[in-house]
Amino acid sequence: MTQNRDSRSLRPGRLGLLAVLVATSLAAQPADLVLRHTTVYTVNERQPMAQAVAVQAGRIVFVGNDAGVAPFIGPGTKVLDLAGSFVYPGFVDAHAHFPAIGEREMVLNLEGTRTKADFLAKVESAVKTAKPGAWVTGRGWIETFWSPPVFPSRQDLDAIAPNNPILLERADGHAAIANSIALRRAGITGSTKAPAGGAINLDAAGEPTGMLIDHAQGLVEVLVPPPDEAAAERALQLADQRELSLGWTQVQDMHGDWTEVARMRKLYAEGKLHIRLLKAITGPGPEADRLIAQGPGSPEFNDRFQVRGIKLVMDGALGSRGAALLAPYSDDPGNTGLITLEPAAALDLMKRALRAGVQVQAHAIGDRGNRSLLELYAAAMAAVPRAERKIADPRWRVEHAQIVAPVDFPKFKTLGLIASMQPSHAIGDLFFAPSRLGQDRLPGAYAWQTLLSLGVPLAGGSDAPVERGEPNIEFYAAVARTAIDGRSGPGWHPEEKVTRAQALKMFTWFPAYAAFEEDRHGSIETGKAADFSVFDQDLMTIPEADILKTRNRYTIIGGNIVYQAK
C-alpha cells in the first residue's frame, strides 16, 4: 500500500503550490508547541526523518530541521528540547480491551504466577479479606508456564475457599476456573449441557473440573454482581492514565455496548478521558443492530472518540483449545475447537453492515475459524455489490488472524481486509503452539511477513489486558520474534519477523488506515494531528534486547502534553 493516499488526487504542481501557500500563511504565526534538537521518525516516505516539528491548534504545521523551525517560535510557544529522545507518530494499540485494562488494576491480578502454588497463595489471600459468601473474582492466570502446565481444578480452589464462590478468568479471557460453590450456584453438574460455542470440562469420573471454556463461562459470570457505575468509571480513568503513561495515543477498543459508550461520552464531556478511543460494539444482537441503524458515528470530542465498528467472535483461543481448527488438536485428538458465531446470523449482520457503511472486525484464531470468517466476508461482499455499499472499500478486519491455512492468505488481499495482529501473542503462544498444532501447521501461524508481502495492511495491537499491553514489548516481539529472555525454538519461524520500519508502521500508519483516519493520523506530516510518542531510545537502531528497556518520556495528543515522565 502506498502512503499519503490523501494527496494522490492532487497533481504534483498543484500540491507544491499548496505547500508553499500553507507554509507561508502558517509561518506568520508562532506555534503553540515546538519539538526540536531531536530525532523524528515520521513514517512519511517523502521525508522519513527530521529534527524538529511545530504544532499550531493541534495540527502539525512544520516538519524539518532546527533552523527551519526557528521562525515558528514566539513568546507564547512551548519549546521542548528533546536531545537524547526520539519522536515517533503517536503509537496506536489496534486491538485492546480498554475498560478491562482499568479493571485489571482493580481486581485480583493473577498475572505472572509462575507456579500453581503461587497462584493459589494469591487467591487465598484475596479470600481471607472477602466477606463470607461474597464472590472472589480475578483474572490473568496462565498455566502454560507452570510445571506441569495443567489447568487448576475446582478442588484446588475448594481447599482454600470453602465458603466463597470463586471465578478466575484465564489470561486470554476464553476460559475460567470456578470452585464448587460457584458451580453449585450456577446449577452446573456433570450432566449440564454446555451452551453452543462453549465447553464444561469433565474429569474421569464425569464431574466438572471447574474449567469453563468460552461461552460456558457465561453460566457462572451472570451470577457475579457487576461493578457499580462509580467503579466502572474509575476503571476507564485508570485505563486512560495507564495507556497514556506507556505512550499510546489511541486505543482501538474491541468490544462494548451502548451503556459503555454513554459512560465514555460522559467522562469525555467532563474532561476525565484524554486518549483517543475507537470504540466497537459487540455483535450480533440488538446493540450491534442499533449501530447499523444509526450508521458509523462521526468523530466526537475533538476527534478523541468514535464508534464505527462491530466486533464479532468467530472462535475460541488456542491456549484453552477453543480455537477452531480444520484438523484436531495435536495434543487433543478428537477436539477441533469451537465456532462461537452462528453463521446465518453473522452473514445477515454483515450484509446490513456493508449497506450501512459499518466496519466489521471479527476475532478468528484457528485455521477453521479464519477460513469460516473469510467465507462469510466473501459471501457478504458478493451479496452486496460495491454500488449498494455506503463505503465501497469497507476495510473489514480479521482480529488475531493467528493460524491460517497458507492457501487462505491471498483472500486477505482479494477481499481488501486488514490483518489486526498482536506480536506478543506469538512470543507467548509459541511455547505451547507446537504441541497444540504440530510443526506442520506452524508455517501459517502468526505469519506477519507473509501477510505484509501480499500487501495486506497489518495493524499491530497488544490485546491488553490479555497481554501486558506495552509498546516496547509489542515492538520487540514484532522485530525479534523471540521470548522476552531471547529464547526461541523449533517452529518459531523467524522468517516471519518484521523490519523496524514495518514494526513502526504496524503501530502508527496501519492502525490509522484501519480506522479510516490516514488522512489525519498515522504519520508526522504537515496538516495531520499532532500526536507523538516520545521515547528515550532509538527504536530503529538499538540492539533488540534494549527495546524492552525503552521508556516513554512524553505522550502528546493533538498538541497537548497528556503525559510527561517524572
CB of 436 to Zn ion, least distance (A): 19
Q: What is the DSSP letter of 301?
A: T
What's the rounded Cα separation, in Å, for the pair 461 and 163?
A: 40
**Bridge partners of residue 39, in order along the sequence:** 86
Does position 172 interact with Zn ion (CB under 5 A)? The reply is no
**Per-residue 3-state assignment (H helix, E strand, C coil) for 170-182:** ECCCCEEEECHHH
Name which position in 214, 260, 463, 517 contacts Zn ion (CB under 5 A). Answer: 463
* Grid cell in block for residue 70: 526557528
Q: Which is nearer to Zn ion, 153 or 217 (CB)?
A: 217
Q: Which residue's beta carbon is nearest to the bound Zn ion?
A: 463
Show contacts with Zn ion in window 239-298 (CB under 5 A): 254
CB of 466 to Zn ion, least distance (A): 6
Q: Which is nearer to Zn ion, 31 or 254 (CB)?
A: 254
Total residues binding Zn ion (CB under 5 A): 2
Q: Which is nearer to Zn ion, 97 or 116 (CB)?
A: 97
Binding string, residues 185-204; x marks residues near Zn ion by CB under 5 A = --------------------
Whole-angstrom Cα Rg for the chain: 24
- The phi-psi region of residue 408 (left if phi > 0; otherwise alpha if psi is between -120 and 50; otherwise beta) is alpha
- Select from 228-236, 285-293, 336-344, 462-470 the region that touches Zn ion (CB under 5 A): 462-470
CB of 270 to Zn ion, least distance (A): 28
- Select from 65-73, 211-219, 401-409, 455-463 the region that touches Zn ion (CB under 5 A): 455-463
Beta strands in 142-283 (DSSP E): 166-170, 175-178, 198-202, 208-214, 248-253, 276-282
- Select from 58-66, 174-182, 201-209, 463-471 the region that touches Zn ion (CB under 5 A): 463-471
* Grid cell in block for residue 111: 498475572
* Grid cell in block for residue 51: 529534527
Q: Which is nearer to Zn ion, 88 or 446 (CB)?
A: 446
Binding string, residues 90-129; x marks residues near Zn ion by CB under 5 A = ----------------------------------------
Q: Which is nearer to Zn ion, 463 or 470 (CB)?
A: 463
What's the rounded Cα separation, in Å, for the pair 248 and 115?
A: 32
Residue 89's closest CA among 525, 421, 388? 525
Q: What is the DSSP string of 453-510?
A: HTT--EEE---TTSS---HHHHHHHHHH-S-TTS---TT--GGG---HHHHHHHTTHH
Query: Residue 468 — φ and ψ, nearest 5°?
Result: -60, -40
Query: What are the C-alpha distances in Å from 446 to residues 144, 280, 368, 424, 458?
Result: 19, 24, 15, 10, 11
CB of 280 to Zn ion, least distance (A): 10
CB of 100 to Zn ion, least distance (A): 9
Binding string, residues 207-246; x marks residues near Zn ion by CB under 5 A = ----------------------------------------
Per-residue burial over 351-390, b if 16 or more Cβ lie within 10 Å, else e, is bbbbbbbbbbbbbbbbbbbbbbbbebbeebbeebeeeebe
CB of 10 to Zn ion, least distance (A): 38
Q: Which is nearer to Zn ion, 38 or 462 (CB)?
A: 462
Grid cell 530525532 in the structure block, residue: 39
What's the rounded Cα separation, in Å, for the pair 125 and 118?
A: 11
Q: Which is nearer to Zn ion, 251 or 478 (CB)?
A: 251
Q: Which is nearer to Zn ion, 260 or 463 (CB)?
A: 463
Q: Do 395 and 359 contact (CB within 8 A), yes or no?
A: yes
Query: Residue 557 — φ and ψ, nearest 5°?
Result: -125, 125
CB of 555 to Zn ion, least distance (A): 23
- Select from 22-30, 149-157, 458-466, 517-525 the region that touches Zn ion (CB under 5 A): 458-466
**Three-class secondary structure of residue 242 per DSSP:** helix
Residue 173's closest CA among 308, 313, 336, 285? 313
Q: Which is nearer to Zn ion, 252 or 306 (CB)?
A: 252
CB of 50 to Zn ion, least distance (A): 35
Reported residue count of the chain is 566
Q: Which is nearer to Zn ion, 214 or 463 (CB)?
A: 463
What's the rounded Cα separation, in Å, for the pair 512 and 501?
A: 16
Q: Do 133 and 163 contact (CB within 8 A), yes or no?
A: yes
CB of 69 to Zn ion, least distance (A): 40
Q: Which is nearer to Zn ion, 254 or 426 (CB)?
A: 254
CB of 484 to Zn ion, least distance (A): 21
Q: Which is nearer to Zn ion, 417 or 464 (CB)?
A: 464
CB of 37 to Zn ion, least distance (A): 40
CB of 159 to Zn ion, least distance (A): 32
- Select from 310-318, 336-344, 460-468, 549-557 the region that touches Zn ion (CB under 5 A): 460-468
Q: Do 43 and 89 contact (CB within 8 A), yes or no?
A: yes
Interface positions with Zn ion (CB under 5 A): 254, 463
